[in-house]
Every structure is written in C-alpha cells, then in structure tokens.
A and B are shown apart, each in its own frame.
Chain A
C-alpha cells in the first residue's frame, strides 16, 4: 500500500480506526486537537462515536463508562488535559478496563506553553492519579511509530485489561511524515465476558473500584501487582543504536529526542568517535535489564541522559544502572527542543 503523508495527530486518529476502535471522547487542546479534527469526520464513516465532551473530566469518565460497557475506546489530550483526566485513569486502572490514552506532551508546569516537552514522564510512568497502579507507556519517535504503537496499545490494553498510554511530545503530534497502515495488524475486540452489557439471561456483571473490606482490597491490590510484574517480564521494548562497537559513552533518550541523539551520533561517527544510544520504546515497563547490562559492561565509561525535561527518565536510568557508571544529564525545557549540535557539544565535553 502506498505511503500517505500525514500529521502525527491525524495518523494516530486513523491508527485507532484501523485498530477497530469505534468510540472517541475528547476535549480539544494544542498540540493534538488534530486528532479530534480528523476523527470528527472519520468516525461517522465507520459508524463510530465521536463525542466532544464539556471537559477533560467528562471525556475521561465517558471513556470509563464506555470501556465498562465493553467498547474499544480511546481519548487524546495534552499535558494539562491529561492531569485533569488523572482521577478517571486511576479508577479505570482499578476497574481493570482496557483503554488507550494518547498524551501529546506540551511544556509545563501549569498551563506552561504549547511547545514540545517531555515533562510528563513521571506522571505517565509512576501513576499520575492516586493509588497503587501503573499504566503501560509507549513512546513513539516517528509518525509511523505513533501509528504502530497506537494500534499495539489497544491490544496491550485488552491483554492486560489496563489503561495504556501513547506518550509523544508535541513534535510527534505536529510533524508530517509518510506512514503506512498495515492491514490486519490488530484483531477486532475479543469477547468481554466481564462487560456490563445488560444481564438478561445471565448473572449481572459488576465493574467497581470500591473495596471497603481491607482484606478484599489487598487481594485486589496484589492481583494488580501480579499483572504489573507480568507486564514488566513480557513487554519491555527498546531500540539499540550504534551499540555493536560497545561504545564508551551510551546515551539514553526517547521520542523525538532520541532522533536528535541519532543525528549527533552519526555526526560524531564521521569524525571517528563512537557513541551509542538506547531508546526505550516502552517507558513502563522500563528496559532495566538492558541498561544494567550496559552499566556492567567494562567498555562503558559513562552514560548521558537527554530529555526535554529537568531529568525525569534520568531517575529510572539511575535506578537501572545502580550508579555503576557516572551519569550525566542534558535537558532543555520551556518548549525548546535540543539541537543535534548541542548534544554533540555535551558528548565532546564528556570525552574531554
């Protein structure tokens, strides 16, 4: 099939359609309103539901309800909007409902600005809402990967009955790249025997998050914990770039920033300096084992983490590598995207 030139946000909308998602609830916010703009036209063509709610709070709870009723559902927003949805995300995690949330991050805190950032890493990977839960977090670095991971998100959400995040920065939402929608990648939704679909001729199903009996709640908590262990064991994804030469310096970056690091690596390679990159594709589960192996490799002299934040993934890299090797950090904030030249300068400082 021929490739189409699409904006990231629009491509995410089409990916959801191709993944048999037929319900989208939203509240607009830059830099991802094009998801809604695309789906308001596209959803009716496939007899799906497009609904712009009166607020993020409403949209996320519509997602909660529709998921409980067995629909394959998703929403998209950007950082401040996701913060408003956090209550529902905690409830959805507790109720074990398959749902997909797309967060095209802008800079914060507060209203911040509308330009790209990666300041929601901790929010996405460590919870965001209240209580003991995790979401699977997928981090695309291109429009094609945004498509592939959005499709994958629906299946992961159903496999583990959990909310899944697609976490991209503003550039992923706004830039255009050629994309291909592979056919038959995602199956239609499976049977959902737990869904609240009307209980004529069967026992009622109950989707709930309230457990007043502490023993019962702990059983539920342990069930969730077992699920997260399974996710950590089975779903880690990452990309290695220029790692075969066992370079002295290894960078860790995700999303658009990882591409910028690749350009810096290519530039230095031409000058005879080898630098490697590990790009986590899943931020939760995080590639702990891979990074520990790199930290234990005697060839590794230092690690550089690059982010559009004040150092959020940095905390996971520190934990994964157990401080076995010195870790440096380079970050830009405020919507400023680091240029490859800046990353090169950081790497040259490390080497000197």
Chain B
C-alpha cells in the first residue's frame, strides 16, 4: 500500500519543509519514503510544491500524477491539483487564503483556516504545520505521535519554534477530528 501527498503553495509557506517532515516521519516509522520537489521554472515564479510518497514496499515511479492527498496552501495550487487527487483521497484547503472549495463529492475535503490558527498560536510561519496536522489526523499516512517526535527532534535547537509547530500540528489535527468522517458516495448512487 502506497500513500502519496502533494503539498502546494507559494514560496515561503514552508511547503518543502512540511513535506520533508512527513517523509522523515515515514522513515522513522520504518517505511520506504521519497520526497520529490518541484524545482522547475515554476519555482522561479513563486509557486512551490513537493510530493511525498510513503510505502511498505520499494517505491517505483517518483512521478505521481494522481496523488492520494493534497495540501493546498493557496488558490492556484488548489485549482491546479484538486482535480488530480484520486477518488477517496483527502484535500486540505487553507481557507484563510482560499475563498473557494472543491466541487467534488468523491474526496474528503477539509477546509482549515491555517494562517488564522497559526497567527493565534504566535506566527503565520506555522500555517503549513496546521495543514500537516490536519492531514495526519485525517489520513493515517503516518502515526501522529511519530510526526510530533520528528518535529521535536528537527527543531531541538529552537525550542520556541518546536513548541509553536507542535501546537500548530495539534490544532490542525483538532479541526480535522471535529469534522464527521468522510463517507464516499455509494458506487451505485
């Protein structure tokens, strides 16, 4: 079983970092992982995205055109990638910056005001951590505790950043847990 998540937004939102943290958590959970950045010309245009694949088996293609989940931190990312998410997947929308939703009933769409929550905690820089927390709670891609451990160890020299990031992760997870479980439409409907 292979899980893939695409993180997308604009440069400076911590897209690459949260992707890397998820990959590290996968590694710590003793699974195969791969982190694939976008490094093409679009990077120079301000948008950034990366894909993380976590699997129980050796990972083949690093090219994932239809990811299992998507974290969209800005509107262009949502519009570009929402149609590519596989049915039954998860889409986390940063509703602080994205005033629209996704007209799909075959995926679990979760709107999370990531920037607003991050600001309440102390810094907008944790917005992507809020989204990561929501994703982790909504999909069982990695154990939530493993993600917390990775954040603690990656930011061990910056105690205040670690605290904010953990708080952001937890708040994102809370929002995700509050929403009822996603029931995909019946196949015969």
Closest chain B residue to A340, Cβ basis: B61
> Which residue in A170, A176, A259 is a CB contact (below 8 Å) of B60?
A259
Check if B63 sits within 8 Å of A260, measured CB to CB.
yes
> Which residue in B24, B32, B62, B65 is a CB contact (below 8 Å) of A175?
B62
B34 on the A face (CB < 8 A) = yes
Segment at the interface with A among B35-43, B106-114, B179-187:
B35-43
Closest chain A residue to B23, Cβ basis: A5
Interface size class of A (residues with CB under 8 A): 20 to 34
Check if A259 sits within 8 Å of B61, measured CB to CB.
yes
Given known A-B contacts A5-B27, A114-B41, A335-B40, A176 and B62 have beta carbons under 8 A apart: no
Instruction: For the complex, give the distance between the alpha carbons of A264 and B65 in Å.
Output: 13
Check if B63 sits within 8 Å of A338, measured CB to CB.
yes
**Total contacts A-B at CB 8 Å:** 63
Check if B63 sits within 8 Å of A114, measured CB to CB.
no
Q: Which residues of A contact B39 (CB under 8 A)?
A: 30-31, 114-115, 170, 174
Q: Which residues of A contact B63 (CB under 8 A)?
A: 260, 337-340
Q: Which residues of A contact B33 (CB under 8 A)?
A: 5, 177-178
Check if A176 sits within 8 Å of B20, measured CB to CB.
yes
Given known A-B contacts A170-B39, A176-B34, A266 and B20 have beta carbons under 8 A apart: no
Check if B61 sits within 8 Å of A263, measured CB to CB.
yes
> Which of chain A's residues 16-51 have a Cβ closer than 8 Å to chain B?
30-31
> Which of chain B's residues 7-47 have a Cβ closer than 8 Å to chain A?
20, 23-24, 27, 32-37, 39-41
Per-position 1/0 for A33-74, Cβ under 8 A of B: 000000000000000000000000000000000000000000
Q: Which residues of A contact B41 (CB under 8 A)?
A: 113-114
- Of A176, A335, A341, most B-chain CB atoms within 10 Å: A176
Check if B36 sits within 8 Å of A340, measured CB to CB.
no
Secondary structure of the B contact surface, majority rule: mixed
Check if B60 sits within 8 Å of A174, measured CB to CB.
no
A200 on the B face (CB < 8 A) = no
Per-position 1/0 for B132-174, Cβ under 8 A of A: 0000000000000000000000000000000000000000000
Closest chain A residue to B2, Cβ basis: A263
- Of B34, B40, B59, B61, most A-chain CB atoms within 10 Å: B61
Closest chain A residue to B66, Cβ basis: A341
Given known A-B contacts A260-B63, A340-B60, A340-B61, A175 and B40 have beta carbons under 8 A apart: no
Check if A175 sits within 8 Å of B35, measured CB to CB.
yes
Instruction: For the complex, give the distance between the alpha carbons of A200 and B32 in Å.
Output: 55
Given known A-B contacts A3-B27, A178-B27, A262 and B60 have beta carbons under 8 A apart: yes
> Which of chain B's residues 120-140 have a Cβ closer than 8 Å to chain A?
none
Check if A175 sits within 8 Å of B60, measured CB to CB.
no
A256 on the B face (CB < 8 A) = yes
Q: Which residues of A contact B35 (CB under 8 A)?
A: 5, 175-177
Instruction: For the complex, give the distance between the alpha carbons of A264 and B27 in Å.
Output: 25
Check if B61 sits within 8 Å of A175, measured CB to CB.
no
Check if A175 sits within 8 Å of B34, measured CB to CB.
yes
Given known A-B contacts A5-B33, A177-B34, A341 and B65 have beta carbons under 8 A apart: yes
Q: Which residues of A contact B23 (CB under 8 A)?
A: 5, 176
A251 on the B face (CB < 8 A) = no
Q: Which residues of A contact B37 (CB under 8 A)?
A: 174-175
Q: Which residues of B contact A170 (CB under 8 A)?
A: 39
Q: Which residues of A contact B36 (CB under 8 A)?
A: 171, 174-176
> Which of chain A's residues 323-352 have a Cβ closer than 8 Å to chain B?
335, 337-341
Q: Which residues of A contact B20 (CB under 8 A)?
A: 5, 176
Instruction: For the complex, give the distance between the alpha carbons of A264 and B23 in Å.
Output: 24
Instruction: For the complex, give the distance between the alpha carbons of A5 and B17 in Å.
Output: 13
Instruction: For the complex, give the distance between the alpha carbons of A339 and B67 in Å.
Output: 13
> Which of chain A's residues 159-181 have a Cβ closer than 8 Å to chain B?
170-171, 174-178
Closest chain A residue to B37, Cβ basis: A174
Instruction: For the complex, give the distance between the alpha carbons of A259 and B39 in Å.
Output: 20
Instruction: For the complex, give the distance between the alpha carbons of A165 and B30 in Å.
Output: 32
Q: Which residues of B contact A115 (CB under 8 A)?
A: 39-40
Q: Which residues of B contact A256 (CB under 8 A)?
A: 62
Q: Which residues of A contact B59 (CB under 8 A)?
A: 259
Instruction: For the complex, give the distance between the alpha carbons of A105 and B23 in Å.
Output: 25
Chain A residues at the B interface, C-beta cutoff of 8 Å: 3, 5, 30-31, 113-115, 170-171, 174-178, 256, 259-260, 262-264, 266, 335, 337-341
List 5 tightest A-B contacts by C-beta distance, closest first.
Answer: A263-B60, A176-B35, A263-B61, A260-B61, A262-B60
> What are 12 A-B pairs at a CB distance below 8 A?
A3-B27, A5-B23, A5-B24, A5-B27, A5-B33, A30-B39, A113-B40, A171-B36, A176-B36, A178-B32, A259-B60, A260-B63
* Besides A177-B35, A260-B62, A263-B61, 17 new A-B residue pairs in contact (Cβ under 8 A), listed by A number: A5-B24, A5-B33, A31-B39, A114-B41, A171-B36, A175-B62, A176-B20, A176-B35, A178-B33, A260-B63, A263-B60, A264-B61, A266-B60, A335-B40, A339-B61, A339-B65, A340-B63
